[in-house]
Amino acid sequence: MKISRREFVMASGAIAASLAVGPKLAMAAAGLPKIKLGVGLKAMSPIVINLVIGEVLGYNKAEGFSVTTQVLGSNANVQVAVDRGEVDFGVGVPSFGLPVLAQGEWKKSINFYEYTYPYKWDIAVLPKSSINGYEDLKGKRIGVSGFGATDYPVTKNVLQSLGFDPDKDFKWVAVGGGVPAGVALERGQIDALAYYDVGFGLIEAAGLPFRLVPRPAKLPLIGGQFLETQTDRLQKNKAQVIGLGRAVCKSSNFILANPKAGALAFLRMYPEAAPRGSSQDQAVESIYRAINRRIKLYSPPYPGAKMGSINVRELQTEAAMNHWNISDYGLFYTNDLIDEINNFDLDKIRRQAKEYS
């Protein structure tokens, strides 16, 4: 999958309006510098819970800034916004960044923290479906949330690794995210749904039926998601870059220590995320069920690796699967900040999580 310069320019057209839309938070610390974080979502979702709750937990304030999260609609939009300096930080994804690197056009940005590790996608079908393995999907209609979301290119890569031609062997259908995706499956508009862990949690919480197709035995470790910023910002304001990474690292550990406390913190920032008419306990349970699959991916699946560190083999695997010719990944990522990002009192964060109410 390639992103042309024309597509980057077209994507930027959606950004100006999106930048004006952010969470209506009253807890932003007065007087602190405000930084903008772009995410490739159409609406705020607990999928990015560990990126945002540092604001209400005081982790951003401890680093000397306040964060406003901007929903920009797609990962391509985020990449444009970071490159143009329209947001200070963004979510970086290899499926959109590596093609640019392969074309020799990756110049301004760098990924410095992996906040979610592979592998987070699955394929779901209705409980009585005759599809019992990925080999049964040939000729079927596979739904994805959108063609600008990572579930589309990553699932295509996996199917290609199994010997399929993703463009000829399947019909791809954009069905939207969250509950609408589950409704499309339930109503038979698609035969299968390729989606991510938190999305399936939202569908499950809504009571919609599905079952996950067993994953292939050799699933490639691809599709991690990163924090990125302009290389110039990293060089000139290294402390701020480390600070955001540390706030996210603290938030991730907070959620791991007490997932329901993390859900409560998210709801305090985004009360509109609560199901209509629900009590606080019911709303917390809903968010918890949505994130339960995701939180295990906050920690690296590599022995001895520190949280947030980036394993270049993930990038190399995805590049090889797509025939992207990349000899040097040095411009794309760095692990130089990981030790400083992880330099905090982990036991204190865990105690805070256990005591949070």
Q: What is the pLDDT of residue 21?
A: 39
DSSP 8-state assignment for residue 333: B
- Predicted confidence (pLDDT) per residue in 45-60, tens digit: 898 999 999 999 999 9
Which DSSP string do the residues of 42-67 spell out, in sequence order? Answer: SS--GGGHHHHTHHHHTHHHHTT-EE
Q: Do residues 185 and 143 lie in contact, with contact meaning Cβ atoms separated by under 8 Å?
A: yes
Quick count: other Cβ atoms within 10 Å of Cβ 332?
Answer: 22
- Predicted confidence (pLDDT) per residue in 95-107, tens digit: 889 999 999 999 8
CA distances from 325 to 76, 99, 166, 318, 319 (A): 21, 9, 20, 11, 7
Q: What is the pLDDT of residue 16?
A: 36
Alpha-carbon span 26 to 244, nearest angstrom: 20
Q: What is the mean pLDDT of the chain?
A: 89
- Predicted confidence (pLDDT) per residue in 253-266, tens digit: 999 999 999 999 99
Strand partners, 116: 225
CATH class of 5-118+223-355: alpha beta
CATH of 121-212, one of 3.10.20.30, 3.40.50.410, 3.30.750.24, 3.40.190.10: 3.40.190.10
Cβ-based burial of 17 (10 A; exposed 0-12, middle 13-18, buried ≥19): exposed
* HSE, side-chain direction, 13 A CA sphere, residue 280: 8
Beta strands in the chain (DSSP E): 34-39, 66-71, 89-92, 109-116, 121-125, 141-144, 171-174, 192-196, 211-212, 225-230
Q: Specify the higher pLDDT residue, 305 or 19.
A: 305
Q: What is the pLDDT of residue 30?
A: 65
Segment 305-311 shows an average pLDDT of: 98
Predicted TM-score of the model (pTM): 0.81
Alpha-carbon span 3 to 8, nearest angstrom: 7
- Predicted confidence (pLDDT) per residue in 263-306, tens digit: 999 999 999 988 888 999 999 998 998 898 889 999 999 999 99
Residue 137 has pLDDT above 60, yes or no: yes
* Residue 150 identity: T
Query: pLDDT category, 178, cuts 50, 70, 90?
Result: confident
- What's the chain's length in residues? 357
Q: What is the pLDDT of residue 120?
A: 84
Residue 11 has pLDDT above 80, yes or no: no
Residue 78 has pLDDT above 60, yes or no: yes
Domain with CATH 3.40.190.10 in the chain: 5-118+223-355, 121-212
- Reduce the DSSP state of residue 278 to 3 states and report it: coil
